[in-house]
Structure 1
Amino acid sequence: MLGLILLITSFLGVWQAKTKPFWFDEILTIEVSSLPSPELRWQALYAGCDGMPPGYYWINAMAARLPFDDHIRWRGPELLGWLLALTGVYHFTAAVCGRSAGLAAVLLLALTPVSSYAWEARPYALLLGVLAWAAASWQRAERHWGWIAALAALLATATNLHYLAPLSVVCFALAETAVSLAERRLRWRIWAAFAAAAIPTLLALPLLIKMKADFGARFWARPELGGLPYYYGNLLGFPLAVVLVLLPFGLPYLLRSILKENPASPRRHALFLTMCLLLLPVLSLLFTLATHGGFNERYTMPMVIGYAAAIPLLLAWRPGGLARGFTLSLLLAFLVLSGREASRLAAEPPAQLAGESGTALTALRSAPEGLLLINNPLDFLAGWYYANPAQRARLAYIGDTEAAYRLGRTDGAVRLLLALRQFYPVPVRTFEEFLPDHREFTMFSSGPPHLQWQPSRLKELGWKIELFASPVPGRLDRVRAPQPGS
């Protein structure tokens, strides 16, 4: 059954990768990873082209050498990471409660919304896979020194994938502290593995400090204590009402179950780690509030490993019991949803074709000849990536960090594009560079209001904006310079 789940997941993952166009963040991954040397990639990250540790781009640069379709090879590491996550959570859970419990953990993880990150060229699915196997290695650390080495390597890899991954290492350290207190002994080799995991973060500290200075105060997603139930709900796919029940009652029940277990029980050790991982969103939220950083629930995605393992660990696995019926019900749900997804994908065009029919290029075909200013940076970069040379010559974007923050309350995407132009011929210019050379042009507006601040800025400068057409979605405007002397 596990083999069947992995086979279906691989098939659907490759199919999804071939039919979903790259979006803004994925294109940043591709452009930084495509730079020809580690030195250039470091320079691009220091300039602010993207916000992941340098090791992540090295992994993608290696994957880019594979002879596959672009959409598959750039998303290949994430699909591999998702398969690692499924197998890792299986071995972590099955080691305590048996294979049926391990299968239930796999299915619980596969049915969460985070499965969609398996075909996205960002580090989250790969991070899940690395940490799931780190959990299995921690569980087996006393069997052989090889598991200690694997734990150190996996946790060090995790901190090379995302700057908040060290907080996941803190969860491992908290679980190990609980084990040490319960058994009144110190497993120093495991603590040495935790220390080794800190090395990549220390090496990348200059990049982290620079990124915090450039993006921290004006990041698009701010941490909010009141948003905690929504963070859990978005990761697990639960409505708010369910989360409001699970948080105050589920976590205390888990703690009570831990305290009832024998101190030396493998189940208790596993429950310690799942409890700590389940608290990762709380830990990350408090950390980002204290450091005034940005926060999004996907940064705490390793929490789902704790969720997927905790439920089977709490059930009583007896032959012919209800627990096995629970696993079969999960399997049925997985098969039904996979079939529905395959039916949907059968009607989807290839990713390249879908990208060429994206918002920006559709607007370009509807606009009059000449330059077209795209004021949504997400639409602009996707359009530029999929455009042919003639289309690229007609696309433009204006970046102004001061106006973006004042009028849209965030300037992160603007900073990213202004940094990217230092390494690629992407048509991004400042107002001071753009406006003196263009007295009239067409502008396309679409997307959320906070990304459509350019019309307001142009009006502040006295430019006239007149509606030209209203394609769906968005609108086209004719923009004219003010009269001399006005």
Structure 2
Amino acid sequence: MDDAGTIRVTRALRAASLLLACCAIAIFAFRSLAGPLWLDELLTMTLVQADSLPRLWSGIIAGIDGNPPLYLTAAWLIVHAMPRAVSSVAALELTNLALTMAATIALYRVSRRAASATACWIGTFLFAALNDNLIHIAVELRTYALYFFMAALAVLFQQRLIERHRPRDVAALALLYAGLTLAHTFGIVYVGCIALAGGLSQPQDGWPHWRRIAVAVIPAIVVLAAWMPFFVQQSAVGRPYMWVGPPGLPDLLESLFASKLSMWIAIVELGCLASAAVAGLRRGGLQLRTVFSDPAWQPLRYLALVLIGISGFTLAAWTVSVALFPLFVPRYFTPQLIVGFALHIAFCEWLTRLARQRLEDPASLAVYAAVVPPLLLSAVMLSRDPFHNDVPCSNSAGTAFETGFVNGDMPVIAESPHVFLPRATYANHREAYRFPLDWDVVLNYPERARGNAVDYNIMRSLQKWGPMPAVMPTEDIVRNFPQFLAIEQSGRAWFHNLRTTRDVVAEKLGATDDQSCTLWKVTSVQPRR
């Protein structure tokens, strides 16, 4: 077969394989819709049901959601534009899936500046098949799919600005930088990483080059300055203490690799690339001076600087969190996915070059590459269990452990919002569940559950914003309900504080298998004498 015939066959195989992979992704997404939402997703859905945008924004500023307003504003517009017959959850999950796929395509486009089409094709499917974090952000009703999308597009359009120097590219990049800033609190840091990488990758262009980048960055700085007063109000939910504790090494590894399998694959890839680089240096095949100065190497310099900036920020934030002030939560560093993507591309580029040198029929490589990676992704998607969040305080069957005791004849007090809000949404007697507000618990038990303060402040804001009458002060619960059921959780303190400060008569009805959750029937609560 001649080269033209090989190209035609390869394109046809790619199209068919891509269609198959898209069908597998669609099946996985459909299966994911059946799962219950967890606390933060339920807060998202509560906010997007607001009757107006100003009301939505008031809920965001009150701290019910802890991110800038871009994602929830877009989600509100989507939900309220859809017919009522369309599920809001399905619409937002499909939107997040589309954003994640678009971000991956953007990374493919920018990687084509530095790697072959075959390597980028294989690497893209490996990234989608092997990175659990990518799947998580695609199906979770949170800002992180938009966060990743904005970061990926910013990387692409910064490179386009360097190549084209057009005013329209400056305008597009300015919008993306502003969007990245409004997608997540840490977005402005990634704006700086990408812009600085773009500037340093082509220093010989001088002041005009830096001026274009500065013009693109200025709107992000303005947006950040405008958002800061509201951010201060929003951050009040973390007083008097934050829920984030000092991170461990597993938190860092989760940000970098997503899973143990991903970590070992990355180690193998890094080892192969390092050995290839050492061999190239020994042969004298790598002219470092040319790499650092030749305009032809600019895309590679740019991507390398972006990866160094992103990884450097992740490592610096983890170090600061361990040594000084805890702020490290793996999902806050979602753009770290770009580093994982680039590693797959670099490894596949090395692998394809090696294969072309050793295969007797290099054309067969293109055919195999067109078919095998999409089939791998399809197999992974069809065999993977959807990411359904575990039901908190569940029995061996995975359902709420207290279900057999709840008949709707007395209230059920859940001392954690992680239990309360899912139960108040999905339980058979959802109207029976209550959440207790108790400031004494926040003040007296900061080490028992670091989330006490945030939980109290968010639920109090939700009570006022909703309104949500099921969120009640402890005094009202004790006064209004002579008897009630209480779900006590290890690490939580409301029921413990109730028994410490009052005379409580309670009977233990049941517990989870691991004894982390206990159901009590309270028949009397009297002031302690």
* Pairing 1:28-427 to 2, within 5 Å after superposition: 28-64=43-79, 65-67=81-83, 68-110=86-128, 111-114=130-133, 115-141=135-161, 142-143=163-164, 144-181=166-203, 186-215=209-238, 218-224=241-247, 226=249, 229-233=252-256, 235=258, 237-238=260-261, 261-263=291-293, 264=295, 265=297, 266-285=299-318, 292=325, 294-313=327-346, 315-316=349-350, 317-318=352-353, 320=356, 330-341=373-384, 344=385, 359-360=399-400, 363-367=402-406, 369-387=409-427, 391-404=429-442, 405-406=445-446, 407-411=448-452, 412-426=454-468, 427=470
String of CA shifts for 1:374-433, please: whole Å, max 9, x gaps.
223112101212357xx2431111122441443323222232112111122431112233
Alpha-carbon spacing, 1:273–1:182, altered in 2? closer, same or farther (3 Å): farther
Is the Cα contact below 8 Å between 1:421 and 1:428 reproduced in 2?
Answer: yes
TM-score, length-scaled by structure 1: 0.84
Structure 2 gaps of 5+ residues are 1-13, 359-364
RCO higher in structure (CA 8 A, sep ≥6): 2
Closer/same/farther in 2, CA of residues 23 and 63 from structure 1, 3 Å limit = same
Change (3 A) 1:5 1:103: farther
- The reply to whether residue 26 of structure 1 matches residue 41 of structure 2 is yes
Q: Indicate the structure (1 or 2) with the bigger Cα radius of gyration.
A: 2
Q: Compute the displacement of 1:28 (Å).
A: 0.9
> Distance in 1 between the 2:438 and 2:370 partners?
54
Deviates further, 283-292 or 393-402: 283-292
Instruction: Tell me, in whole angstroms, the C-alpha distance in 1 between the residues paired with 2:476 and 2:496.
Output: 18
- How far the C-alpha of 1:311 sits from its partner, in A, is 3.8
Give the equivalent residue in structure 1 for 2:481: 438
Distance 1:113 1:24, change over 3 A: same
1:92 Cα deviation (Å)? 1.1
Q: Structure 1 340/276 Cα, relative in aligned 2: closer, same or farther at 3 Å?
A: same
Unpaired runs of at least 5, structure 1: none
Seen in structure 2, the aligned counterparts of structure 1 residues 228 and 19 have a Cα distance that, compared at 3 Å, is closer
**Preserved contact between residue 21 and residue 378 of structure 2 (Cα < 8 Å):** no
Bigger mean CA deviation after superposition, 248-257 or 475-484: 248-257
Q: Distance in 1 between matches of 2:65 and 2:96?
A: 18
Structure 1 Cα separation of the partners of residues 124 and 520 of structure 2: 51
Q: More deviation in 471-480 or 105-114?
A: 471-480
TM-score using structure 2 length: 0.78
Deviations 1:248-280 (A, max 9, x none): 998999999895625321222222223322333
Contact 1:33/1:60 (<8 A) preserved: yes
SS of the residue corresponding to residue 112 of structure 2 reads helix
Check whether the contact 1:235–1:297 (CA below 8 A) recurs between aligned residues.
no
Compared CA separation, residues 176 and 247, structure 1 to 2 (3 A): same
CA distance in 1, matches of 2:147, 2:449: 32
